[in-house]
């Protein structure tokens, strides 16, 4: 087992020291919830290879010199197989309806194509972003493919879709490494304040089923992490949550600070959601982004990448709109996009002597705007190019591709009706893999 390998313990110690002496983003390190950083390290070692390790070293060295063209590949990946969600969480861009991208499900062939390109560098693959993974009916097949390619897999779910014993077994047998379950209360009246439209009893039944099936199958995976965002309405239930976690058989319970939507700075929202009795779960500035990089560079442009369900390639989940994509994985390889004009421009923004010649979404991001390079450069007189989104050759009907509730013939996209999303409407119905 890797935990008994002295090499990994030495590596862990070296990373711990390096994070604090050589790191460019101390704010990120301090923001990671207790226990999660250690878990991610051991997860990466489970699929260790020297090729991945040397890629990691190359990327980290080039990050510290803020090189615009990178010799290496991103090692943290986020692939959103669906951006559909049945809940309306008030601090989520999906719940708020502020994402300008059609809703749908990633083609299985596109997913395998991407995994084949990243499998030698990816240390963590998170199969979620702005959607609910279990609304992709065959999410277990996507996970299983990545697992066979020796890629660590993580999903985050509201777990509101009722799981059948068959699906629970399929998920466990798929090789999924970590399942994060978002559950912010131990009574329905408290839970539904934030998880609008959610059913606490479904979540608890699903957790019990998963625990039962793991025992029956003798499986230690997936590691089930209960994530509890500490907020005004639920902060009195922390001790009850600890007791319930033991009863449910979850592997860990993570109490997390509130993260407001990117660009949010309304004091009234902070007053509504932030806890009062638990100062450990407050930030000095409630709207501070843990990825602010302390005025340095944005590590996401060097370490990580996001691929949306439609193939839209972005440096991070903050760039939610289709117009902000850096490329399209349907049309170009990961290698081609990784050092294209959008990426080299975005990385150059963090160099004071660089003059951008094209608009990228990072210019509107508070992470860049809070950097020393942005303050030195001042306002940039660039605007995004006009962009007309079409779906399967059809002209937009509502500014976002198709009319709500219409399934486009010949595609794997399902567009959810605003305000009328139930599981029957929004579940993904993809074709069988080749």
Is the CA virtual torsion 414, 416, 420, 422 positive or negative?
A: positive
Report the candidate in 307, 349, 378 with the shortest Cα–Cα distance to residue 68. 349
Higher pLDDT: 82 or 400? It is: 82
> Using one digit for the tens of pLDDT, what is the confidence trace for 280-338?
888 777 776 655 555 578 889 999 999 999 999 999 988 888 999 999 999 999 999 99
Element (H, E) at 254: strand 252-256
Model confidence band, residue 116 (pLDDT cutoffs 50, 70, 90) = very high
The owner of tokens 């060097």 is: 302
What is the mean predicted confidence (pLDDT) over 122-135?
93
With a cut of 70, say whether residue 213 has pLDDT above it.
yes
> Using one digit for the tens of pLDDT, what is the confidence trace for 52-110?
999 999 998 898 888 999 999 999 999 999 999 999 999 998 988 888 899 999 999 99
With a cut of 50, say whether residue 406 has pLDDT above it.
no
The owner of tokens 């069988």 is: 432
Q: How far apart are CA 309 and CA 128, in angstroms?
A: 10
Q: How far apart are CA 358 and CA 383, in angstroms?
A: 8
Q: What pLDDT does 186 receive?
A: 97
413-419 long-range contacts (CB < 8 A, ≥24 apart) are 413/102, 413/103, 413/104, 413/105, 413/310, 414/84, 414/103, 414/104, 414/105, 415/102, 415/103, 415/104, 416/84, 416/103, 418/97
Report the candidate in 109, 74, 96 with the shortest Cα–Cα distance to residue 315. 74
Report the candidate in 81, 10, 63, 151 with the shortest Cα–Cα distance to residue 428. 81
What is the mean predicted confidence (pLDDT) over 135-150?
96
Phi, psi of 87 (to 5 degrees): -100, 170
Distance from the first to the final alpha carbon of the chain:
35
pTM score, whole prediction = 0.84
Q: At what angle do helices 200-217 and 238-248 cross, to 10 degrees?
A: 40
Which region holds residue 239: left if phi is over 0, alpha if psi is between -120 and 50, else beta? alpha
Model confidence band, residue 408 (pLDDT cutoffs 50, 70, 90) = very low
Q: What pLDDT does 416 receive?
A: 36
**C-beta of residue 20 within 8 angstroms of C-beta of residue 294:** no
Higher pLDDT: 2 or 168? It is: 168
What is the mean predicted confidence (pLDDT) over 118-127?
94
The owner of tokens 């009319």 is: 403
What is the mean predicted confidence (pLDDT) over 191-216?
96
Model confidence band, residue 399 (pLDDT cutoffs 50, 70, 90) = very low
**C-beta of residue 258 within 8 angstroms of C-beta of residue 213:** no
> Using one digit for the tens of pLDDT, what is the confidence trace for 25-46?
554 445 555 566 677 777 878 8
Q: What pLDDT does 269 receive?
A: 86
Q: What pLDDT does 11 receive?
A: 64
**C-beta of residue 385 within 8 angstroms of C-beta of residue 341:** no
Q: What pLDDT does 425 receive?
A: 45
Please give the C-alpha separations between residue 109 and each of 115, 164, 309, in angstroms, as whole numbers.
10, 26, 12
Phi, psi of 327 (to 5 degrees): 180, -175
Report helix, strand or coil for 3: helix
Element (H, E) at 256: strand 252-256
The mean pLDDT value of the chain amounts to: 83
Q: Which residues pair with 428 in a beta bridge?
A: 136
DSSP labels, 20-52: HHH-S-HHHHHHSPTTHHHHHHHHHHHT--HHH
With a cut of 50, say whether residue 393 has pLDDT above it.
no
């Amino acid at each position: 087992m890797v935990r008994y390998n002295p090499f990994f313990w030495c590596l862990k110690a070296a990373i711990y020291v390096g994070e604090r002496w050589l790191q460019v983003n101390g704010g990120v390190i301090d923001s990671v919830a207790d226990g999660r950083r250690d878990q991610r390290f051991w997860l990466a070692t489970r699929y260790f290879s020297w090729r991945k390790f040397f890629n990691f070293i190359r990327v980290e060295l080039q990050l510290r010199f803020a090189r615009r063209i990178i010799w290496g590949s991103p090692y943290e990946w986020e692939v959103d197989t669906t951006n559909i969600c049945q809940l309306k969480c008030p601090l989520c861009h999906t719940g708020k309806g502020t994402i300008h991208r059609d809703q749908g499900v990633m083609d299985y062939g596109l997913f395998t194509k991407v995994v084949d390109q990243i499998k030698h560098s990816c240390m963590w693959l998170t199969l979620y972003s702005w959607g609910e993974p279990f609304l992709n009916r065959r999410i277990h097949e996507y996970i299983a493919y990545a697992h066979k390619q020796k890629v660590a897999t993580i999903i985050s779910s509201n777990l509101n879709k009722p799981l059948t014993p068959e699906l629970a077994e399929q998920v466990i047998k798929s090789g999924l490494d970590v399942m994060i379950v978002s559950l912010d209360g131990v009574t329905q009246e408290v839970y539904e304040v934030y998880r609008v439209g959610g059913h606490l009893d479904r979540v608890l039944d699903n957790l019990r089923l998963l625990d039962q099936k793991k025992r029956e199958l003798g499986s230690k995976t997936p590691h089930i992490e209960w994530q509890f965002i500490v907020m005004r309405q639920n902060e009195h239930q922390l001790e009850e949550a600890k007791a319930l976690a033991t009863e449910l058989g979850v592997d860990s319970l993570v109490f997390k600070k509130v993260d407001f939507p990117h660009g949010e700075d309304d004091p009234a929202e902070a007053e509504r959601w932030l806890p009062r009795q638990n100062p450990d779960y407050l930030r000095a500035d409630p709207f501070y982004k843990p990825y602010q990089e302390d005025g340095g560079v944005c590590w996401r442009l060097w370490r990580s990448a996001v691929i949306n369900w439609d193939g839209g390639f972005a440096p991070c989940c903050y760039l939610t709109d289709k117009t902000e994509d850096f490329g399209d994985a349907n049309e170009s390889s990961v290698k081609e996009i990784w050092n294209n004009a959008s990426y080299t421009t975005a990385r150059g923004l963090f160099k004071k002597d660089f003059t951008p010649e094209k608009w990228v979404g990072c210019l509107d991001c508070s992470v860049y705007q809070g950097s020393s390079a942005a303050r030195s450069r001042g306002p940039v007189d660039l605007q995004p190019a006009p962009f007309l989104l079409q779906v399967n050759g059809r002209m937009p009907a509502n500014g976002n591709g198709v009319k709500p509730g219409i399934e486009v013939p010949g595609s794997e996209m399902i567009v959810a009706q605003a305000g009328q999303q139930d599981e029957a409407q929004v579940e993904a119905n993809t074709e069988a893999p080749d």
